[in-house]
Structure 1
Amino acid sequence: MKVSVLGAGSWGTTVATLCAGRHDVRLWARDEDVADEIRSEHRNSRYLPDFELPESLDATHDLEAAVSDAHLVVVGVPSHAFRSTLDAAKPFIHPWIPVVSLTKGIEEESLLRMTEVIRDVLPGHPAAALSGPNLAKEIMAGQAAASVIATEDLQVAAALQHVFQCGLFRVYTNHDVIGCEMGGALKNVIAIAAGMAQGLATGDNTRSAVISRGLSELSRLGEAMGGEPATFAGLAGLGDLVATCVSTHSRNRYVGEQLGAGRAIGDILDEMNMVAEGVKTARITHVFAERYDLDLPICESVYKVVTGVARGEDAYAGLLTQRAGHESEPG
């Protein structure tokens, strides 16, 4: 199979590497220097400096060359560039081939999930999402991991499962696209909260409480939007949440940690090489909470901090003074 992966960040490059073991893979990089390095030196020093890439992995800066003969298109660019990248690739993509999102975010202007953006830009193409506790550097190091390929058509899901599954990287199928995508996007907001707890030097008990109560908020909003409860207890929910909240490789946890240490959000983002989707998703979650009339105190606290309304320590002080009711209730 000829697979085109759009986006040569750490996760896009990792997925391209996984697929290159059994398929003909071409990786598209927005930056021509990144594409040249991958193709000629088999390295991506900007995003994965410690790893050698397969010699069979091709790379290009030419979007037409990347997708024109592809049997499968995989999109791993940040959410703010997702639609424009698909729009630019649309004239060169063969009809009806599947398009898979790797992006754990929501389009800010439309509030659409990434598979909804795929259907909007490329109607008639099967749309799917790959989501789970997948830290790129660990997978590149050969450590075991699991993910979920989500699409309503389980026959398509099974076919895609065989494309992505490789060695110790296990891939499960799931029909609950809403749940998988919302779990992947919303956990980034909770990871910022967990990072803030780390930056404030709270204990493991506090961080554990943030993660578990954060899962409750994530699940309630995801279910209100049509996701299934079981999904939020699985790989694309709890699994991804734990990995993103505790790992030192997590961008969103890092942002939270720096916020907790008192740094300004603009300074943190300016120095980062990769996108932390949770900053934007925190603003979107605030809109969703109002739309569905939900009380999401942890998400709301992150929203206030990333928008400059409150400091990390103030947000935590507010959370600690809230009334604790039944565990199934907000707060």
Structure 2
Amino acid sequence: MVGSTDGNRSPGHPNGSNHGPHRSAELKLDELRRVLSKSEGSLLKIVGIGAGAWGSVFAALLQDAYGQFRDKIQIRIWRRPGRSVDRSTAEHLFEVINSREDVLRRLIRRCAYLKYVEGRLGDRVLYADEILRDGFCLNMIETPLCPMKVVTNLQEAVWDADIVVNGLPSTETREVFEEISRYWKERLSVPIIISLAKGIEAALDPLPRIVTPTQMIQCATGVPIENILYLGGPNIASEIYNKEYANARICGAEKWRKPLAKFLRQPHFIVWDNSDLVTHEVMGGLKNVYAIGAGMVAALTNESATSKSVYFAHSTSEMIFITHLLAEEPERLAGPLLADTYVTLLKGRNAWYGQMLAKGELSPAMGDSIKGKGMIQGVSAVGAFYELLSQPSLNVLHPEENKHVAPVELCPILKTLYKILIKRELSTEGILQALRDETANDPRDRIEIAQTHAFYKPSLLGQP
């Protein structure tokens, strides 16, 4: 998501400056170093935690943009060691290498090509951290990255890092950052943490509320919330690395989000900033829920534009309803939420997962960590949102039945996805039944309900 300003990959981009791309990048780096009070000769140390598609792209593009200034900045990425690359993936990787002359030449210069030949032949086992050093993410084989500085020891990676980028799935964030906190007990300075994770957990005691990755990180490490930020937007990792134009928001305390937005902003990747940390983070998880259903509908109806539009109408009305439960000023979220939803439905892993389920190529019993794709965040988010919105303490007045019901009763798509993915009581065809139920309300009615009733539940986001 971070873009690149180096002269090697994109020398022709204007950047609004009288300097060349190299000098412009150095000026931005120097400015961030000043903000962070880095002394002359002291490296600004940035480490990415987690090497899925998004985390790897983020680190790789930072390396592309600023890695040339070795006396001022160090950029590394941590991933767990020991994950082997299976034979079929090694064969695919070999095809990708040989289809890209620049990659082929780079590996030959680094004396690394032979191991991919041996991997292709089955004479050698390749490992995920090993190929990452050469610029290949296991979850995104077809998009070669720049060579990476990979660390497999977590303590070594984080103990003196100035900026830590959380590229882990939300389901792994708490556990890893609890381990990280043990290595920070003797720290004198507080690091900055940027979370890329899109997912939530549900907490029910003492009140039902959503727990986001930034809150997990704060709880695990004790780092003040003003030093923890969320960065997200409507984008696909591989396309961002290939310089497709995109944008995102970095959300959090003004002290850090403004200088970091400037540092991350690139000609093809515009980074805005916003103070609303938790709500944007929750919205990033919410759209994954409905993306899975969109994939199911697409596969079950042979990509029927009509059916997909019906699903889009119902699912977006549910999302709007849920945002009115969560946010005091939900209208501010409409644009970012719909944009992120749109791109996820077009080409996201959650929509792909829904398609594979509907086609019978995957099943819910296989779990939500899929080879070549990584973690399907929408599955755990379905469970979390359903569990939260089914709590009696959150009951709202049903507009037609004149009785109080749990909010989830006004979200039939969410209920159906829960029965398919979590309870496994329905097949994927159940999503079509949810759309075709002749007693279902016009989606407009749900939006009107949300807008005309005092449904805002500040406790859901831990607000008083």
Q: Same fold (TM over 0.5)?
A: yes
Name which of 240, 255, 258 aligns with 2:353: 255
C-alpha separation in 2, matches of 1:326 and 1:107: 27
Secondary structure, aligned partner of 1:48 = coil
Q: Secondary structure at the match of 2:375?
A: coil
Please say if 1:127 is aligned against 2:225: no
For residues 126-151 of structure 1, the C-alpha deviation after alignment (integer angstroms, 9 at most, x for no partner) is: 11111111211111212111111111
Q: Does 1:205 align with 2:296?
A: no
Q: Tell me the equivalent position of 2:201.
A: 107
Give 1:306's match in structure 2, choosing from 421, 425, 433: 421
* 2:78 equivalent to 1:28: yes
Task: Please tell me the residue identity of whatever aligns with 1:99.
Answer: I
What is aligned with 1:179?
279
Give the structure 2 partner of residue 216 of structure 1.
317
- Corresponding residue of 2:207: none
1:65, CA displacement in angstroms? Answer: 1.6
**Deviations along 1:22-60, whole A, 9 cap, x unmatched?**
252110011353333333xx22251232334334x4111
Q: Give, as a single letter, the amino acid of the residue that structure 2 aligns with 1:107.
A: E
Residues 51/314 of structure 1: CA separation in 2 closer, same or farther (3 Å cut): closer
Kindly indicate whether residue 273 of structure 2 is the aligned counterpart of residue 158 of structure 1: no
Unmatched runs of 5 consecutive residues or more in structure 1: none
Asked if structure 2 preserves the Cα contact closer than 8 Å seen for 1:195 and 1:255, the reply is: yes
Q: Which amino acid aligns with 2:441?
A: A
**Hey, what's the Cα distance between the residues in 2 that align with 1:161 and 1:227?**
25
Cα drift, residue 282 of structure 1: 0.8
User: Relative to structure 1, is the Cα distance of residues 47 and 255 closer, same or farther in structure 2, using a 3 angstrom cutoff?
Assistant: closer
- Residue 74 of structure 1, CA deviation: 0.8
Match in the other structure for 2:119 = none
Q: CA RMSD in A?
A: 2.3
Cα distance in structure 1, aligned partners of 2:157 and 2:324: 37
Give distance in 2, aligned partners of 1:49 and 1:112: 32
Contact 1:6/1:73 (<8 A) preserved: yes
TM-superposed CA distance for 1:192, in Å, is 0.6
Matches within 5 A, 1:25-174: 25-32=75-82, 33-39=127-133, 42-55=134-147, 57-93=148-184, 94=187, 95-107=189-201, 111-125=210-224, 126-151=227-252, 153-174=253-274
300 and 123 in structure 1: CA distance in 2 versus 1, 3 angstrom threshold: same
Residue 436 of structure 2 corresponds to which residue in structure 1?
320
Shifted more, 309-318 versus 142-151: the winner is: 309-318
- For 1:268 and 1:64, the matched residues in 2 are separated by 30
Distance 1:62 1:318 in 2: 48
| Residue 15 of structure 2: aligned partner | none
Select which of 245, 248, 265 maps to 2:364: 265
- Give the conservation status (yes or no) of the 8 Å contact 1:211–1:245: no
For the residues of structure 1 that align with 2:199 and 2:291, how far apart are their CA atoms?
14
In 1, distance between residues paired with 2:370 and 2:140?
17
- d(CA) in 2 for partners of 1:213, 1:231: 20
1:312 alignment partner, SS class:
coil
Structure 1 residues 227 and 245, CA, compared in 2 at 3 Å: closer, same or farther? farther
Q: Render the CA deviation track for 1:128-182: whole Å, top value 9, x for unaligned.
A: 111111211111212111111111x223211221232233111111112232111
Asked if 1:14 is matched to 2:57, the reply is yes
Q: Contact 1:182–1:222 at 8 Å: present in 2 too?
A: no
Q: Greater shift after overlay, 68-77 or 24-33? A: 24-33
Q: Distance in 2 between matches of 1:259 and 1:44?
A: 27
Q: Which runs of 5+ in 2 are unaligned?
A: 1-43, 67-72, 83-126, 205-209, 395-405, 450-464
The whole-number CA distance in structure 2 between the counterparts of 1:258 and 1:49 is 19
- 1:5 corresponds to which of 42, 48, 51: 48
Is 2:294–2:312's contact at 8 Å kept on the other side of the alignment? yes
- The structural deviation recorded for 1:244 is 0.6
Q: Which moved more, 1:216-225 or 1:278-287?
A: 216-225
Q: Is the 8 A contact 2:165 2:195 kept in 1?
A: yes
Code of the residue aligned with 2:79 in structure 1: it is: A
Aligned-residue offset at 1:227: 6.0
Q: Percent of counterpart pairs with the same letter?
A: 25
Structure 1 residue ranges, 4+ long, deviating more than 6 angstroms after superposition:
none
Which stretch shifts more, 26-35 or 169-178? 26-35
- Which residue identity is paired with 2:168? V
2:293·2:431 contact (CA, 8 Å) conserved in 1? no
- Per the alignment, in what secondary structure is the counterpart of residue 49 of structure 1? coil
Letter in 2 for 1:187: K
Whether contact under 8 Å (2:321, 2:446) holds in the other structure is: no
CA distance in 1, matches of 2:310, 2:279: 22
Report the secondary structure of 1:233's partner residue. Answer: helix
Displacement after TM superposition at 1:108 (Å): 5.4
- Which of the pair has more CA radius of gyration? 2
SS at match of 2:77: strand
Helix, strand or coil at the partner of 2:382: helix
- For these two proteins, the number of residue pairs brought into alignment is 324
